[in-house]
Amino acid sequence: MSKYTEDDLREELKTKEYEYGFYTDIESDTFPNGLNEDIVRAISKKKEEPEWMTEWRLEAFRIWKEMEEPEWANVKYKKPDFQAISYYSAPNSKPKYDSLDEVDPELLATFEKLGISLDEQKKLAGVAMDVVVDSVSVATTFKKTLGEKGIIFMSISEAIKEHPELVKKYLGTVVPQKDNFYAALNSAVFSDGSFCYIPKGVKCPMELSTYFRINQAGTGQFERTLVIADEGSYVSYLEGCTAPSRDENQLHAAVVELIALDDAEIKYSTVQNWFPGNAEGKGGVYNFVTKRGLCETNAKISWTQVETGSAVTWKYPSCVLKGDNSVGEFYSIAVTNNYQQADTGTKMIHLGKNTKSTIISKGISAGKSQNSYRGLVQVNSRAENARNFSQCDSLLMGNECGAHTFPYIEAKNQSAKIEHEATTSKIGEDQIFYCNQRGIDTEKAIALIVNGFSKDVLNKLPMEFAVEAQKLLEISLEGSVG
């Protein structure tokens, strides 16, 4: 067998096209481009929302108008023209299906290409799917099982109609409308998303999962997710994304809010594989996401993410550790290739006593990509005995990519214990030599090392997702895995 070197790997990375790029032609009803109060009102009306929701959106829109697009992130891109985007698109046929036979066959084929066969899903894994194709949820499974436990899992537009009291109480409490530019935009125009409520003391028996797809040309997708875990409950939530190959930049500005009440635990896992642009850096999705969780007493929120896609990523899943003894975790693998740019990390805000946070971030950059970790660990003066451990490691492949770390650490309490460490390295020749020496060829050795490098994070993914995560890593770094 010929010797497999890093150069070969780099060559492969260069030529590897986006495998899952395809485009399903479903008639959509799409709004004209542009954004103004009328459009916001129209979105709200289209979704048959109550008056308070319309007002909430309009308030967000007014705040957004006053705001400026942030520029502090370590990414360069052509700013989207917010007036050239259509803010609403929904698949045309929108009935609520009782069985899969009624679903648009073309849509089913889309899912099949993605490897999510709904019937299989029903029989097998025990994963309830709230499938989102371009903003409107068209199929919900396992609702019955969840219903028996009192778990509410539905699209957020349904939730606004059916459970307005919950939505009204929690929407915008963790990520307020004025939080940042993209959060404000999302608050004004969000089309759909998932809503999940776990009642007191209930352990959700299955992994909840939503698939996001950006499907219509020129439509930005503005998802809004709200997960509420009531006292003593537990939920594991999965979010996975793939998008069709497209030349023009697509904007995605999602907001995810998690609320873990006393003693509750939320595990939120993401696998993101949106179109990263082709090898010349043309096209690709802009991913500007605000994700934040609030922990009450003894609660725990754990973010796990595998980021392989998007041309530009700007994403900081955060935890506000408000209650005493609460725990925040962040595990992340970010892979960038070609001209991808990622500026991602987390914020851990320690407010309560005895709060703990763990940050494990692994960045792999190849090609001409730029990969940045940006994190904040803040210990407030009343947060006695706060504990943080952060580790950010970067692996560089090729000499045209860059890895950057921007950790901010702010401690205002003397009992705080904070550790931060970061390393940057390439796959060591001695490591490969060690493997070769023991009869492992170079290809396997690289696979072994990359796998080992990301193991800490991959291990944190739920079983159902681990396979998919592996698959996505393969696309981004084929040849180095397995």
Partner 1 sequence: MDLKEKLVSSFLAFENRVDVDAYAHNLRSDAIKIFEEKGFPSKKEEAWKYTSLNSILKEDYSVFPKQENALEYSQVKQYFIHDIDSYKIIFIDGKYSSHLSQTTHDGIDVCLMSAALNKPKYQLVIENYFNKAAGKDSLTSLNTAFSCEGAYIHIPKNKIVEKPIQILHFSTGNESATMLQPRNLVVVGENSHVQIIERHQSLTDNPVLTNSVTEIFANKRAIVDYYKIQNDKENASLIDNTFIKQKRESLASVHTFAFGGKLTRNNLNFYQNGERIDSTLKGITIIGNKQHVDHNTLVHHIEPNCESHQDYKGIFADRSTGVFNGKVVVEKEAQKTNAFQANNNILISDKASINTKPQLEIFADDVKCSHGCTIGQLDENAMFYMRSRGIPEKEARALLMFAFSNNVLESVKIPELKQRITKIIANKLGVNIGFDL
Nearer to partner 1, 325 or 369 (CB): 369
**H-helix or E-strand spanning residue 377:** strand 370-379
What is the Cα gyration radius of the chain?
A: 22
Q: Which residue has the tokens 């609320």?
A: 259
Position among 279, 422, 440, 481 found at the interface with partner 1 (CB under 8 A): 422
Contact in structure between 421 and 389 (CB atoms under 8 Å): no
The C-alpha atoms of residue 354 and residue 177 are separated, in whole angstroms, by 30
Position among 196, 416, 432, 448 found at the interface with partner 1 (CB under 8 A): 416
Position among 229, 285, 403, 448 found at the interface with partner 1 (CB under 8 A): 403
What binding mask, one character per residue, do residues 342-381 give for partner 1 by CB under 8 A, x or -? -------------------------------------x-x
Coil, helix or strand for 228?
Answer: strand
Q: Which two tokens stand for residue 62?
A: 């007014």
Q: Which residue has the tokens 């940042």?
A: 180
Contacts of 443 (CB under 8 A, 6+ apart): 4, 479
Position among 414, 437, 439, 463 found at the interface with partner 1 (CB under 8 A): 414
Q: Smallest gap, in angstroms, from Cβ of residue 399 to partner 1?
A: 5
Under the criterion CB under 8 A, does residue 76 sit at the interface with partner 1? no
Under the criterion CB under 8 A, does residue 417 sit at the interface with partner 1? yes
Nearer to partner 1, 118 or 418 (CB): 418
Position among 154, 396, 461, 469 found at the interface with partner 1 (CB under 8 A): 396
Q: Smallest gap, in angstroms, from Cβ of residue 291 to partner 1?
A: 22
Nearer to partner 1, 374 or 460 (CB): 374
Coil, helix or strand for 88?
Answer: coil
Nearer to partner 1, 233 or 372 (CB): 372
Residue count at the site for partner 1 (CB under 8 A)? Answer: 35
Of 183-191, 195-203, 351-359, 417-425: span binding partner 1 (CB under 8 A): 417-425
Position among 50, 176, 402, 462 found at the interface with partner 1 (CB under 8 A): 402
The C-alpha atoms of residue 416 and residue 387 are separated, in whole angstroms, by 6
Positive or negative, the CA dihedral 79, 81, 86, 88 is positive
- Applying the rule CB under 8 A, the residues between 34 and 73 that interact with partner 1 are 72
The C-alpha atoms of residue 15 and residue 10 are separated, in whole angstroms, by 9
DSSP 102: G
SS3 content of the chain, % helix, strand, coil (to 5): 25, 35, 40
CA separation, residue 460 to residues 47, 73, 134, 464 (Å): 37, 27, 29, 11
Under the criterion CB under 8 A, does residue 281 sit at the interface with partner 1? no
Under the criterion CB under 8 A, does residue 2 sit at the interface with partner 1? no
DSSP 192: B
Q: Smallest gap, in angstroms, from Cβ of residue 369 to partner 1?
A: 11
Under the criterion CB under 8 A, does residue 425 sit at the interface with partner 1? yes
Residues that bind partner 1 (CB under 8 A): 72, 379, 381, 394, 396-426
